[in-house]
Structures are given as C-alpha cells and as structure tokens.
Structure 1
Amino acid sequence: MRPFLPNPAGPAGAMLPLLLLAGAVSAEPLYPTPEALGEALFFDAELSANRTQACATCHDPSAGYVDHRGEGVAAAVSLGDDGVSLGDRNAPSAAYAMFSPEFGFVEKTNRWTGGQFHDGRETDLAGQAGGPPLNPIEMGMPDKARVVARLRENTDYVAAMQALFGAAIFDDAEGAYGAMAESIAAYEQTEEFAPFSSKYDRFLRGAATFTDEEELGRVLFFSEQFTNCALCHQLRRSAIDPAETFSNYEFHNIGVPENVALREINGVDADFVDTGLLMNPAVDDPAAAGLFKVPTLRNVAVTGPYMHNGVFEDLRTVVLFYDKYNSRAEKRQFNPETDQPWRVPEVDGTLSLNELEHGPALDDQRIDAIVAFLETLTDARYEHLLDAE
C-alpha cells in the first residue's frame, strides 16, 4: 500500500510517470485499469476544496480504513477539509464495504437492507464514493464540474479516463464525475479492502489456534441460546463460513444515546434528532426513525469509537451496553465510561426489542470472552494495533 500522501502530480499535473523517472521508456499508461486509477484518486487530496483531504483521510488504510486523527470527543467524527467543521456521525470503515448489498426493501424479512453510509442513502459503493467531495463539511467542493476541473489538472488522470471510459468522457461533467466514482469503487472492491486474513480466518483454515477465552467467545457469539450477537452480525448461516462478514446489513434501532459531548462542540442544534434510516430520501416510514445499518464486525477491535455517533470509546462498553437489556444486575445499568446510568435512546419507540432481549444475561467472564473473540476478527495487517487499544 502506498503511504497516505497528496497526489504528487500537483495542480498542474506536472509529475513525470514513475517509469520515466527511473529512466525507462514505456507507452503503458500510468493507470491502466479502473482499480489503479481508483487507488490514485482514493489518496488524492487535490480533489477537496482546500486540497487537504482525500478519501484516505477519513478512511485511513493504516487504521482499518477509519479516521484516527481526532482526540477525545472530537475523535468520534471527522474534521472537514476546511479545518473547522466536525460531522455528527462516525466515519464507517471502508474495509469489507463491498459486501453490503444494494439498498432496498426485502419482502422476506420485512426490512430495509444494505446500501452505503449509516442510513443506506447511497445504493452502492460508487454512490458512496461520489458523496464526500460535494459534502460541505467534508471535502467541500461546490459542484461536480469543479471536481472534474481538478481531475483535468492531472494529465495522467485525463489519459487514463479517456482510455478507460472513452475519448469524450470529459465532454459531460456528470459522466466524468461518475467515472471517477466508479473507479474509486473498483479500487474499494479489491482484495486490499477485504483480505480475510484475521486470526479467525486462519483458525478456520487450521492455521491458528484459539485460546480458551477466544473459543468460549466464539461459541457464545454464534449460539443464539446464550447471546443475541449472531441475530444481526451473521450473514452466512454457518459458523464456519470463510466469507462471513459479521453483518446481515439490516437496519435496527438498538437504543444508542445521543452523543451529548459531541453535539456541544460540532455546532449541531441541540434540538436535532438523528433519525437514521428515516433521513434516507428513499424512506418515508415513521417506523424507520432511529434505525441504522448493522456494521461489519471485521476489524471492530481497532476501529473505535463505536456506534454511528462514536458515543462509546471501548469495545467492552459496547458489549455491556447490549447486556443491559437482559441483565438485572445493578452494575449493568451503568455506563463504565461515565459511571452514570446509560442515557436514554436518542430515538425511542422503534427499538428492536425482539433481538435485543433475546438471550440470558452475561457474567463478566463471558463479556470478556466475547471481546476476546471480536479481537480475533482483526486483519493480520492491523493486529499490531490490538496492543495499542
């Protein structure tokens, strides 16, 4: 993986191809495939208003494809290209995002499923890739035409896009912008984003052995008799499927509280309520209020803070939050990060209680075992981050 640096071509696109710099002469285009072009675009900060922010800024490949720039409360969300704006939702990981199905309503389950972003508002990866450049508190570009003008500053991009999408691709800003988004999506569908290389994957292949605690956590996770984990965080209906992504991509309200501390610094109106799925333009059912897409648990141990608004810092806190629905123990009714009772849901009345209240209460040993198992879902390239958590 290349290091996260702005595109060295600069605004004028003056960089010579790397092969020529090495003294070799080649007619091969610098970006011969959509994936190669998408990789360059993914790391290119020139495509933001102030030329400071790329896709990789908020989806850092060295940090599980999430944003690890902030500290304290500000770590819950991303800082915009303007150096001031803070969002209201945590940047989801781009790893394994390719497996989320297209957004739609599934009659069989009677649920909305899939899409990209926490509310599924973009149908697929290309739609997601086209969002941040135009978001005023993210990359901040005013319109698609201005983004395309930035693309045209780079002669290598021009050559690649004309070769890949046709000589007339730049005749229409809408088409050129779409080609950019499709290229980024193609890159995000490469093995680099979904290596399936975790200890869990090696365990399935017989190349790793679980500790007793990790094995207990695995058994608990996949047992609907003892936990509610697999009700939402299992796509394949087998506990040994090598392509498990640990999400069914449905939308649920699990009672996440408002991130009050974040709202105090990001400028969002104190009366604003994040209604999740109901903010998706394709959905107008009041029953969708407060529902958010179930995230993958791949790399979950190294991609905190947690929940759609980053309200919890520690993975163990998340597991305890779920257990509060089933435990009558007094200590389970307190958030260990604040030593205060759990705050009320930001949106009440649509909670997925059938799923949340499924299963018995968990003692500390079982809580720790589930956390230990979740740590085994960390891709090999990020396992060193477990020691830093």
Structure 2
Amino acid sequence: MKLLALLLPILLLSACSDNTQDTKVQKATLGQSLFFDTILSQNNTQSCAQCHNPAHGFIDDRDNGVAGMASLGDDGKSIGDRNSPTAAYAMFSPEFHFNKKTKQWIGGQFYDGRESNLAGQAGGPPTNPVEMGMPSKQALTDRLKFHPVYSKQFKDIFGDDIFNNSDKAYGAMAQSIAEFEKTDTFAPFDSKYDRYLKGQYELTDLEDLGRSLFFSNNNTNCAACHQLKSRDDAKGETFTNYEYHNIGVPINIALRQKNGVDAATIDHGLLSNSQISSNEHDGKIKVPTLRNITVTGPYMHNGVFAELSTVIEFYDKYINKDRINNPETNKPWADAEVPNTVNNDELKKGKKLSDRKVRALVAFLNILTDKRYEHLVNNVE
C-alpha cells in the first residue's frame, strides 16, 4: 500500500498534464487501484503487481521455486511456462498488424502478439487458470458489482448499466488497467542513457565502448532488432522494433521439470497466435524492449538464461567459434527449440566479441535502467 500511495501522485500528475479528458484520468485512477488489488484473482491472493512489480522493473521478482523463470499462480501451485515480461514501456508496442513494407508481423502484447493491445493483455490473466484463476468474466463482474467502491466508480465512468453485460464490464476493467499502464509511471525515460542524450551524464569508457558496439552494424547486429528510431531522433527510444524473430533459444528443461509441462512440448511462439497459420513463423518471439533489461532477468521468453552476459555470449556463439559452452552450465549450448526457422541471416552478421566487449555491452545495457531502479544495478568494470 505504501508503494501505491507513492505512485498515485505520479499518476495524477502525468495524467492531468497530458490534457486528456476527465474520463481518461478517471479510468487510469481506477486502473491503478485494480492493478494492485487481489480481487481480480480467485483466491484473493494475486494482483497484477505481483507479476509486474513496480518496485522491480514491472516484472515478477519472486523466486516462485523456479529461480524467477516463471510466475506462480493464484492457486499456489501452478507455474507458467514463460517468463513474465515487463509491463514498463509496453504502451509503445503498436497494435498487432502485418507491415507490408517490411513483410513482418509487428506489435501486439504477450510474446506471441495474441492480444492486439494493452486492454487485451490486461484481460488475459484474471481468467487464465494458471494465473489468477477466475472461473469466468461473470464471476469477476459480480465481485466488482457488489464492491462498495468499485461499483460506484464503474457506474460513474462507464454508465449505470455497465454491470448488465459481463463482457462489457470485464472490458471496462481491462480498459482501466490499460489506461494506468499508459501513464508516465510505466515509462519515465529518465535512465542514464536519457540523461546522456541531454548532456546530463558522462559515459564511462566501458559504457561508451558498449554504446558504440551496440549501434555499430559492422561489429554487432544489436540495433537491427533493438533500435526503433534513427540516431537523430534517439529521444524516447524503446530499443525494440516490435518484430518477431526466432533466435534459437533452447527449451528451458529446468523450468519444465518444475512446472510439469512435457519437456518435448514445443513453444511455437508467433505460430500459436490464432491470426497466424504459416509455418515460417514457428518459434518466433516478439523482440523485447531493452529498457530496464539489467533488472528484469532471467532472460529470454522462457527465462532460460540467468545472466545478461550469458545472453550476449549466446548471440556471439553464432559468430565466435570459441563460444562453445554456456557459461552458466559449462556445457555446450543446447539446441534451438524450433531449429527450422532460426534467423541465421541476421544472427551471423557482425564480428566476434572479446570478453571485454561483452562486458562493455553489459555496461551499456546497464545505463538503460530507469532512475528509480539504478540501486538494483551491479556496475560492470
């Protein structure tokens, strides 16, 4: 509750300063309350904030018995099969669509884009049996309808008849949470990198080397997927182009041993999206933002890597024949979960990295951390 009290003034300030309609501010305020309320879960034990903790980059920083690789459900025993993505900066992902120019599927929410926008995403977890576990939209609507505070707020914002239709009431709940997630609370753009762009922070030598490497298409290929804007318009960079690619991530066997999912089960990524039918998209995952990446591990869609440096070495293995072993297991890198669609054309571009260059890239990624999370970062020397 202390955190909610701290966030409320920020929310109201950011919402009101944007000259939005009063109803939008009301929705965001309602959405903030709902985001922190366990009323959305069957056993009243889980809120949105537990899997998207505002104090820790809007991810699930709990161990959950699986080293944080996936989230624990409201029933106290169900473990998911994917890592909870950060809700920070999620507002900038465009609605799910096909870009005819680039011939790429773009945007949406979740790793497979199965929900087109933030409201769709917010409506997913409450009725997911391995997440919040509500039996139906009607069940949640009834809870909100008879709640002494929410009942009045919903009627004031959406009309007196809002509870007459459970789909509309449920949609209103999701819309409200989405409006909260569109506030500056989720996207302050105040990292050391942002301050550097304003001339308010001086990069260390290692950070500067990492920056040069990151944006150099000759040395690395990071910016091919993790740069949205031109260098001349770097303000507000989200460090993702919101496309979908298969980079050869292996199955997380350790997670499967804990959550009971058959180790042979394949996560088909984008292909599991109901709008997608072509096998060419099998195993593709949406490119994540690198904002707060240092404090939002473990990494990859299934949490298979614990350290950010491991992720960089994983990319480097496609070019560097000396990167034989996964440094976390001291064993050869595991095979790709979906080998046939791995984007080798992009992954094999660039030059191999020395250990110092790996550290430099980590140092650069560290400075993409929002100011309020900088105390969580272990600086690289």
**1:207 CA drift (Å):** 0.7
**Residue deviations 1:319-367, cap 9 Å, x none?**
00000001122xx111000000000000011011121111010111111
Unaligned runs of 5+ in 1: 6-28
Aligned ranges for residues 88-103 of structure 1 at < 5 Å? Answer: 88-103=81-96
Aligned residue identity for 2:89: Y
Aligned residue identity for 1:366: K
2:62 aligns with 69
**1:105 CA drift (Å):** 1.1
Determine what percentage of the aligned residue pairs are the same residue: 56
- 1:44 and 2:45 are equivalent in the alignment: no
Q: 1:35, 1:385 → 2: CA distance?
A: 28
1:352 aligns with 343
Secondary structure of the corresponding residue to residue 268 of structure 1:
coil
Q: TM-score, normalised by structure 1?
A: 0.91
1:4·1:56 contact (CA, 8 Å) conserved in 2? Answer: no
Identify if the C-alpha distance between structure 1 residues 133 and 71 changes in structure 2 by more than 3 Å, giving closer, same or farther. closer
**Residue deviations 1:20-60, cap 9 Å, x none?**
xxxxxxxxx9x971110000000000110000001101000
Identify if the C-alpha distance between structure 1 residues 388 and 211 changes in structure 2 by more than 3 Å, giving closer, same or farther. closer
- 1:78 and 2:71 are equivalent in the alignment: yes
Identify if the C-alpha distance between structure 1 residues 388 and 137 changes in structure 2 by more than 3 Å, giving closer, same or farther. farther
- Of 174, 183, 187 in structure 1, the residue corresponding to residue 180 of structure 2 is 187
Q: 1:179, 1:216 → 2: CA distance?
A: 47
Secondary structure of the corresponding residue to residue 230 of structure 1:
helix
- 1:335 and 2:310 are equivalent in the alignment: no
1:18 aligns with none
- Of 186, 191, 202 in structure 2, the residue corresponding to residue 198 of structure 1 is 191
- 1:383 and 2:374 are equivalent in the alignment: yes
Q: 1:239, 1:73 → 2: CA distance?
A: 42
1:362 aligns with 353
1:75·1:305 contact (CA, 8 Å) conserved in 2? Answer: yes
- 1:121 and 2:104 are equivalent in the alignment: no
2:19 aligns with none
- 1:208 and 2:201 are equivalent in the alignment: yes
Secondary structure of the corresponding residue to residue 33 of structure 2:
helix
1:304 aligns with 297
1:160 aligns with 153
**1:238 CA drift (Å):** 1.7
1:14 aligns with none
**1:64 CA drift (Å):** 0.3
- Of 255, 274, 277 in structure 1, the residue corresponding to residue 248 of structure 2 is 255
Aligned residue identity for 1:182: Q
1:254·1:356 contact (CA, 8 Å) conserved in 2? Answer: yes
Secondary structure of the corresponding residue to residue 39 of structure 2:
helix
Secondary structure of the corresponding residue to residue 319 of structure 2:
coil
Secondary structure of the corresponding residue to residue 3 of structure 2:
coil
Secondary structure of the corresponding residue to residue 284 of structure 1:
coil
1:64·1:95 contact (CA, 8 Å) conserved in 2? Answer: yes
Between the two proteins, the alignment pairs up a number of residues equal to 363
Q: 2:247, 2:152 → 1: CA distance?
A: 48
Query: Which segment drifts farther, 182-191 or 220-229?
Result: 220-229
Aligned residue identity for 1:270: A
1:32·1:160 contact (CA, 8 Å) conserved in 2? Answer: no
**Residue deviations 1:75-102, cap 9 Å, x none?**
1000000000000000000000000010
Q: 2:191, 2:379 → 1: CA distance?
A: 17
Q: 2:263, 2:212 → 1: CA distance?
A: 43
**1:237 CA drift (Å):** 2.0
Q: 1:360, 1:219 → 2: CA distance?
A: 13
1:269 aligns with 262
- 1:177 and 2:132 are equivalent in the alignment: no
2:363·2:379 contact (CA, 8 Å) conserved in 1? Answer: no
**1:2 CA drift (Å):** 4.4
1:16 aligns with none
Q: 1:72, 1:241 → 2: CA distance?
A: 39
Q: 2:65, 2:149 → 1: CA distance?
A: 40
Query: Which segment drifts farther, 264-273 or 375-384?
Result: 264-273
RMSD (Å) for aligned C-alpha atoms: 1.7
2:114·2:274 contact (CA, 8 Å) conserved in 1? Answer: yes
Query: Which segment drifts farther, 305-314 or 378-387?
Result: 378-387
**1:162 CA drift (Å):** 1.0
Q: 2:65, 2:125 → 1: CA distance?
A: 24
- Of 132, 155, 159 in structure 1, the residue corresponding to residue 125 of structure 2 is 132
Unaligned runs of 5+ in 2: 6-21
Q: TM-score, normalised by structure 2?
A: 0.92
Q: 2:84, 2:263 → 1: CA distance?
A: 21
1:3 aligns with 3
Query: Which segment drifts farther, 350-359 or 136-145?
Result: 350-359
Q: 1:257, 1:226 → 2: CA distance?
A: 25
Q: 2:132, 2:328 → 1: CA distance?
A: 32
2:11 aligns with none
